[in-house]
């Protein structure tokens, strides 16, 4: 209710302390922190070489030696799930960060200059959201061919639109504020107003969305891996691992269950982190 002036960039340090008291946010931080550790140093955590084939120990159920059991070629499932962190965490970044960069720049420019570019942009957004996201992504993958890199390209080609739309709306909202008008009156260059003044203030919702999008990227990446359009075997990737185990799900359930748990846990981590950040960065309150 109060109209107290609020500077969207400077954050109150006590809000951090408050956020750190929320169990969801802390859990998210811990999950993602540990996931990053696993992704950066898989060798330090994995008990075996993820690609060591052992035909004498094929599809062994979980045991002390192999806590997640072994797969069709006798490889240690736990080690494969851990090594997959490398690929899947990388997905969260590479499948989103280029879309974010492109989207932020285009969204900021379109929001600042409006005019004909904005008109065209509006139609492009309408057209892109008319396709189910996955359909458009796999259509692009279809043309480029399956594989991780092509998957990143496909997701970026489609995904930037969502970031740009968010950024544009936010820049337009920020333009209404006095400091933007002041910058224009003082004769700052457009570039300075957009990138030094508008962008830092308008980026908050984009960052919050980015967190959610990273969770979605892991779901999407593993789905494409499962469908055979993303990471390719023998690479250890959760979707690929689940696909490998799908025909043995009633006899060797651990093959599909464990990577699935990794997906759910990491996705949950990102979405908890996103919710916490949203609270933290939200103006007022």
Partner 1 sequence: MSSLTYILKRLLLMIPTFFLVMVIIFLLVRLLPGDPAIAMAGDRASDADIAAIRERLGLTEPMLVQFWLFLSNTLHGDLGRSILMRTDVIDVIADRLPITVFLTLYSVVLSLLIAGPLAFVAALNRGRWPDAVIRTVFQIGLSMPVFYIGLVLLTFLAAQLRLFPVGGYGDTFGERLYHLFLPSITVALYTSAIIMRNLRSAIIEVLDAEYVQFARAKGLPARLILGRHVLRNALISTVTLLGLSIGNLMSGTLVTETVFAVPGMGRLMLEAIFARDYPLIQGLTLTFAVLVSLVFLLTDLFQSRLDPRMRLQ
Partner 2 sequence: MGMNNKTPILEIEALNTTFYRNGQALPAVREVSFSVARGEVLGLVGESGSGKSVTLRSIMGLARRYGDVSGQVRWQGRDLVPMPDRELRLIQGREIAMIFQEPMTSLNPLLTIGLQIEENLLAHTNLSRAARRDRAIEMLDLVGIPSAAQRLKDYPHQFSGGMRQRVMIAIALAANPKLLLADEPTTALDVTIQAQILDLILRLAEEMEMGVVLVTHDLGVVAQTCDNVSVMYAGRIVEQGPVRNVLREPRHPYTVGLMRSVPENLPPRTPLYSIQGVPPSLDTLPSGCAFAPRCSACVEACVQGRPDLSRVTDTRHVACFNPVIDAKGNAA
As beta bridge partners, residue 76 has 70
**CB of residue 126 to partner 1, shortest distance in Å:** 4
Residues 25, 19 contacting (CB under 8 angstroms) = yes
- Number of CB atoms found within 10 A of residue 51's CB: 14
**CB of residue 1 to partner 2, shortest distance in Å:** 6
Q: What is the DSSP code string of 58-101?
A: TTPPP-SSSTT-B-TTS-BHHHHHHHHHHHHHHHHHHHHHHHHH
46 binds, among partner 1, partner 2, none (CB under 5 to 8 A by kind): none
79 binds, among partner 1, partner 2, none (CB under 5 to 8 A by kind): none
141 binds, among partner 1, partner 2, none (CB under 5 to 8 A by kind): partner 1
**CB of residue 170 to partner 2, shortest distance in Å:** 25
Query: What residues contact residue 30 under an 8 Å CB cut-off, 6+ apart?
Result: 269
**CB of residue 174 to partner 1, shortest distance in Å:** 24
Residue from 59, 83, 61 nearest 73 by CA: 59
CA dist., res. 147 & res. 235, Å (int)? 11
**CB of residue 172 to partner 1, shortest distance in Å:** 20
1 binds, among partner 2, partner 1, none (CB under 5 to 8 A by kind): partner 2
Q: For binding to partner 2 (CB under 8 A), which residues are involved?
A: 1-2, 4, 18, 21, 285
Residue linked to tokens 């492109």: 102
**Which CB atom, from 25 or from 226, has the smaller least distance to partner 2?**
25
199 binds, among partner 2, partner 1, none (CB under 5 to 8 A by kind): none
By three-state DSSP, how is residue 20 classified?
coil
**Which CB atom, from 2 or from 130, has the smaller least distance to partner 1?**
130
CA dist., res. 241 & res. 226, Å (int)? 8
**CB of residue 130 to partner 1, shortest distance in Å:** 5
In this structure, which long-range contacts are made by residues 278-284, counting pairs with CB atoms below 8 Å and at least 24 apart in sequence?
278/208, 278/211, 279/19, 279/22, 279/25, 280/11, 280/15, 280/16, 280/19, 280/25, 281/11, 281/204, 281/207, 281/208, 283/6, 283/8, 284/6
CA dist., res. 200 & res. 55, Å (int)? 56
DSSP run (H or E) holding 56: none
**Which CB atom, from 50 or from 267, has the smaller least distance to partner 1?**
267
18 binds, among partner 1, partner 2, none (CB under 5 to 8 A by kind): partner 2
**CB of residue 151 to partner 1, shortest distance in Å:** 13
**Which CB atom, from 129 or from 169, has the smaller least distance to partner 1?**
129
**Which CB atom, from 4 or from 185, has the smaller least distance to partner 2?**
4
Q: For binding to partner 1 (CB under 8 A), which residues are involved?
A: 123-124, 126-136, 138-145, 215, 219, 222-223, 226-229, 239, 242, 246, 249-250, 253, 256, 260, 263-268, 271-272
255 binds, among partner 2, partner 1, none (CB under 5 to 8 A by kind): none
């Amino acid at each position: 209710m109060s109209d107290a002036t609020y500077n969207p960039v400077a954050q109150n340090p006590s809000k951090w302390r408050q956020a750190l008291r929320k169990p969801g946010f802390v859990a998210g931080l811990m999950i993602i922190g540990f996931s990053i550790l696993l992704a950066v140093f898989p060798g330090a955590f994995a008990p075996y070489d993820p690609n060591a084939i052992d035909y004498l120990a094929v599809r062994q159920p979980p045991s002390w030696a192999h806590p997640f059991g072994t797969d069709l070629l006798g490889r240690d499932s736990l080690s494969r799930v851990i090594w997959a962190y490398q690929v899947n965490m990388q997905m969260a970044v590479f499948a989103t960060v280029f879309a974010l960069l492109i989207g932020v720049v285009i969204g900021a420019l379109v929001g600042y200059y409006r005019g004909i570019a904005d008109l065209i942009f509006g139609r492009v957004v309408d057209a892109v959201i008319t396709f189910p996201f996955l359909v458009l992504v796999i259509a692009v993958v279809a043309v480029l061919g399956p594989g991780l890199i092509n998957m990143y390209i496909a997701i970026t080609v489609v995904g930037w639109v969502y970031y740009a739309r968010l950024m544009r709306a936010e820049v337009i909202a920020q333009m209404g504020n006095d400091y933007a008008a002041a910058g224009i009156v003082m004769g700052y260059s457009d570039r300075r107003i957009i990138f030094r003044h508008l962008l830092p203030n308008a980026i908050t919702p984009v960052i919050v969305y980015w967190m959610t999008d990273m969770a979605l990227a892991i779901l999407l990446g593993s789905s494409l891996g499962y469908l055979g359009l993303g990471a390719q075997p023998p690479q250890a990737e959760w979707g690929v691992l689940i696909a490998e185990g799908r025909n043995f799900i009633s006899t060797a359930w651990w093959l599909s269950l464990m990577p699935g748990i990794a997906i759910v846990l990491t996705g949950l981590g990102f979405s908890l982190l996103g919710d916490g950040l949203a609270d933290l960065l939200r103006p007022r309150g």
